[in-house]
Amino acid sequence: VDMVDRWYAKTATNAPTIRAHAYGLLRTILETARTRDRLIALNPCVIRGAGSTERKVKPKPATMDELAIIVAGMPERLQPMVLLATWCSSRFGELVELRRKDVELTTRQESDGTTIEEGLVRIHRGAYRVNGGWEVGPPKSDAGIRDVAIPPHILPIIKAHLASKHVGPGGDALLFPADNGGHMQPSTLYRHYYRGRAAAKRTDLRWHDLRHTGAVLAAQSGATLAELMNRLGHSTVTAAMRYQHAAQGRDRAIADAMSKLVGQ
């Protein structure tokens, strides 16, 4: 215990998030050594709260006008990426690994004969930077594997993007490829995004805050905590919430309600 405490006291003291993640990883490894491998009798990671960090500055969601300015300031091929990051609360790693086969577009008939178009994005993988390259794997947690209903108001843009020259014809074609056809580098996206957010006078708005904005919009649309967890791919510390799933039909209602906010 003393050895771990001394290591924690001098590790990444000026980077609380990295420090918390490192401690949390060490605690998980040692817990596996204790419970599964039976190599140690006790887990020496006993500092309460050391594996978590509280964000000092809470992100301020983007407004509809700000979002519109940001999207307009992006190249055409990246505009749908901003929209999916926001309205489907997708992470960067999830977006750069999205492929044509992960988008499902369907239609259904209402009782009055009206045809309704619907869309679904399947987030089952993510791409992560490892040693200067890319590694494709599952999302950050089991809860991260999810199907997210696309709000109707952005469906035309997603459909146009799929029909454009920016996406290859095959099912494995990336939705947002780099110029060389591989995964897009973060620097490529940020170079354009920073200009867009500057035009919106929101230089504080990080890319990840678009996901936060989408969560707030979903909450305003009436989503319950469990439904938000399902839409964002979040899990909680309790097993009960980890395995609580939102109904598919309710997720569609949430997506429809989110689109209605645009007209307010």
Residue 91 among the catalytic residues: yes
Active-site residue, from 27, 91, 161, 183: 91
Active-site residue, from 99, 211, 212, 231: 211
Structure tokens at 126: 């993510």
Active-site residue, from 6, 129, 243, 245: 243
Residue 245 among the catalytic residues: no
Residues with Cβ within 8 Å of 65's Cβ and at least 6 positions away in sequence, in order, are 200
Residues with Cβ within 8 Å of 145's Cβ and at least 6 positions away in sequence, in order, are 123, 124, 138, 139, 233
Residue 208 among the catalytic residues: yes
Active-site residue, from 27, 166, 183, 234: 234
Helix (H) or strand (E) run with residue 114 in it: none
CA angle 130, 136, 138 (to 5 degrees): 115
Residue 183 among the catalytic residues: no
The SS3 assignment for 104 reads strand
Structure tokens at 133: 């390259």
Active-site residue, from 6, 129, 195, 208: 208
The SS3 assignment for 2 reads helix
d(CA 82, CA 71): 7
Residue 38 among the catalytic residues: no
Residues labelled catalytic? 91, 208, 211, 234, 243
